[in-house]
Structure 1
Amino acid sequence: METGKTQAVLKLLPFAVMAVVALIDFGTGPTAGLLPLLALGPAFASVACGLARTTVVGVIALLLGVALGLYNELGASRTTTTVAAILGVTVASVLASAGRLRHERQLADVRSVAEAAQRVLLRPVPRRAGPGIGVAVSYTSATAEARIGGDLYEVATTPHGVRIIVGDVQGKGLEAVETAAVVLGAFREAAYDEAKLQGVVSRLENALTRELSGEQFVTAVLAEITGGDSVTVLNCGHPPPMVLTADGEPWFAEPPEEALPLGMTTLKAVEPVPYQLPFEPGHQILFYTDGVVEARDGKGEFYPLASHAGLLADPDPQLALDALRADLLRHVGRPLADDAAMLLLRRRAAHPS
């Protein structure tokens, strides 16, 4: 809405500027020397107007220059000089407008490609992960104008249950996106093929070994829902999930043993150990990346996720997660320094009999 208003103002600005110059010149006479300022009309038009409107503004500026020059009796020499200046600015403005429009079309094409890449890389997750289990996701990229980055998530319904991954690739930019694509591709295959989460992790390790170089790595947390009152979790160096009980009390589910991130096979002395999280009726589990808990406000204070967990009270899981994301952005008060992804699981509360 605000962008539309700004564009409307910018499109009217050239006419307003020329009208002001003409009125002042008409009232004060030739001593003011304002006629060259009519060139501001086409100059401003090149910022927000198309080729046709910019050309029309330039023609109006030229006609006003000639008319006011005759009215003020400036003489042929001064009038010609003024008109030549306005004509030069008009030509430059039309060329600038053409370049701007070409750039906007290219940017629109890039955004279309980005949206297509987002649909492939971060596909919409199902709103349900089994009977009575709601799912919601949120992704905020730290890169200006980007829709995807180095954080990743996926929910896959497999013969072994509903399997979930939330991860964070070290680094940013296209390289991080490429690595995220490798992890997601390997997960989507392994989640269907492997009977245990440890097998899925091994497949991810093998895929990353072929792709990563140097000391790059990926932190990730995997989860498996097979029914019952618990969720199996396997944490590979990732921030622990936050569990909210039915009464809204939050706590962080630290893994029983520390495990290194994916891609650090040569240093791994201990394999990640699966552990169980309670997932009873009314419970919620929030998976997130470090861009959430490491987001700082203007005073350098981290986002207090646990103390703001009450924002997840909305009956609709997606609206609840959107409220938490909005609060995170308010806390930071500026673009995030790192990508921030969140995935919320909610088990519907049991109805009283």
Structure 2
Amino acid sequence: MSRAPEFGPDHWSRRWVVAVAVLLILIVTGLALADLLGGSRAAWVPLLATVPALAATAGGPRTVLCAGLFAGALGVALGLHHGAPGRVLGTTLVSLAVVTLACGLTTVLGGRRERVLEAVRSVAEAAQHALLQPVPSTVGPFQVAVRYSAAAAEARIGGDLYALVPTPHGVRMIVGDVRGKGLPAVGMAALVVGVFREAAHDEPDLLDVVARIERSLARNLGPDDFVTAVVAGHPRPGELEVVNCGHAPPLLVRDSEVIPVEPEQPAPPLGLRALSGETPGLHVLPFTDGDQLLLYTDGVTEARDHDRAFYPLAEGLARHVCDDPARTVTALHGELLHHVGGHLHDDAALLLLRKPLPAGQNAPAPAAPRGAGRVTSVSA
């Protein structure tokens, strides 16, 4: 199972610190050698200011102060070596002191902003766990894996939503996408998830769950707002119920074949039923041992590479599907990031459900080789 490498902020920070340290050593060594080997006695003076300036990009106030003191000492030593007048040495030291002070203040202010940003990240992470609660690897009779990425990486949350809950009426789940971005989209996603969790427990009929969400949105949505969603449930062994409200069709994996689950009765997104007058239909889908179902948002299928080509999710799923949903979703997410060059421009969610084989039956290979698997457009 191939996977594109992922590097976090700490990784790149460490590499930047090392690069700056090497660059500082090269600058100081080059200045000293150029001066001692007979270069111009004044050419190196302005370049000494780069030492504290570069140190400010990779360290704190103490690092900047040490770099400034070292640059000043080097300037004085080279000046004395050439017998420079005291006025020149004084000017050099004053210039370095001003640059060091300015860079030190910059790092202090930057540190404060970083602490504020870290606090905001912590709040955003807490909000994410409240809105998009972690999903265990096993829910009821299913293996489950979820991967979520917000387009605004520092925000941690966005307008895509998912939830999976065990209820007296079987395991039920939703994956959806709120129109728009920013705080309004996050608030609407929270509303949908909250109503779904309550209705999933209260309503025996999955269509009534969808109707509860629709009524709530009708009271809270603006005239141009809507939510696309797929709501699914497992009311009895061997079956899944699927209600698609204007969302991308889930992908069913059965016998190494990837099948888009197209809605038998197309329905408008949630929040637009009053305008269209159409009601969603219930699609009963056979779902037996070894079957898998992938629900996702359009941030995955509409992700483009530098040639503006969309990410081929069905083909990617056929390449990476295995008997471990977590490995499959991780491989898909890594390949998606590689496809777009490392940064998604829209929120993206993946939720993979698998009905494991009974104990004693042979499981499929750990991972399908690249190019394996088939994709068909025939409805399930």
Q: TM-score, normalised by structure 2?
A: 0.87
Deviation at 1:5, TM superposition (A): 2.5
CA contact (8 A) 1:293 1:305 kept: yes
Deviation at 1:182, TM superposition (A): 1.0
CA contact (8 A) 1:165 1:220 kept: yes
Counterpart-to-counterpart distance in 2, 1:341 and 1:149: 10
Q: TM-score, normalised by structure 1?
A: 0.94
Deviation at 1:151, TM superposition (A): 0.6
Counterpart-to-counterpart distance in 2, 1:110 and 1:48: 22
Post-superposition CA distance 1:23-44 (Å, at most 9, x none): 3222225535212211111111
Deviation at 1:278, TM superposition (A): 1.4
Q: Aligned match of 2:277 in 269, 273, 277?
A: 269
Q: Aligned match of 1:321 in 321, 329, 333?
A: 329
Counterpart-to-counterpart distance in 1, 2:76 and 2:241: 81
Unaligned runs of 5+ in 1: none
Counterpart-to-counterpart distance in 2, 1:306 and 1:5: 36
Q: Aligned match of 2:353 in 338, 345, 351?
A: 345
Deviation at 1:2, TM superposition (A): 4.4
Q: Aligned match of 1:117 in 114, 117, 127?
A: 127
Counterpart of 1:73 in structure 2 is: 83
Counterpart of 1:93 in structure 2 is: 103
In the alignment of these two chains, the number of paired residues is 351
Whether 2:312 is the aligned partner of 1:304: answer: yes
Counterpart-to-counterpart distance in 1, 2:342 and 2:247: 25
1:138-287 matched pairs, under 5 angstroms: 138-245=147-254, 247-287=255-295
- Structure of greater relative contact order (alpha carbons < 8 Å, 6+ residues apart): 2
1:37-52 matched pairs, under 5 angstroms: 37-52=47-62
Counterpart-to-counterpart distance in 2, 1:17 and 1:61: 11
CA contact (8 A) 1:154 1:164 kept: yes
The letter for the 2-side match of 1:309 is: L
CA contact (8 A) 1:127 1:134 kept: yes
Counterpart-to-counterpart distance in 2, 1:237 and 1:70: 78
Post-superposition CA distance 1:55-113 (Å, at most 9, x none): 11111212222222222112012111111111111111111111111121112112111
Counterpart-to-counterpart distance in 1, 2:306 and 2:62: 45
The letter for the 2-side match of 1:103 is: R
Whether 2:300 is the aligned partner of 1:292: answer: yes
Counterpart-to-counterpart distance in 2, 1:10 and 1:111: 27
Cα RMSD after superposing both structures:
1.8
CA contact (8 A) 1:290 1:340 kept: yes
Counterpart-to-counterpart distance in 1, 2:187 and 2:151: 16
Counterpart of 2:365 in structure 1 is: none
Counterpart-to-counterpart distance in 1, 2:334 and 2:153: 17
Counterpart-to-counterpart distance in 2, 1:27 and 1:196: 87
Counterpart-to-counterpart distance in 2, 1:241 and 1:40: 56
Post-superposition CA distance 1:267-289 (Å, at most 9, x none): 13121111111111111111111
The letter for the 2-side match of 1:119 is: H
Counterpart-to-counterpart distance in 1, 2:134 and 2:154: 20
Q: Secondary structure of the equivalent of 1:162?
A: strand
Whether 2:124 is the aligned partner of 1:134: answer: no
Counterpart-to-counterpart distance in 2, 1:52 and 1:307: 53
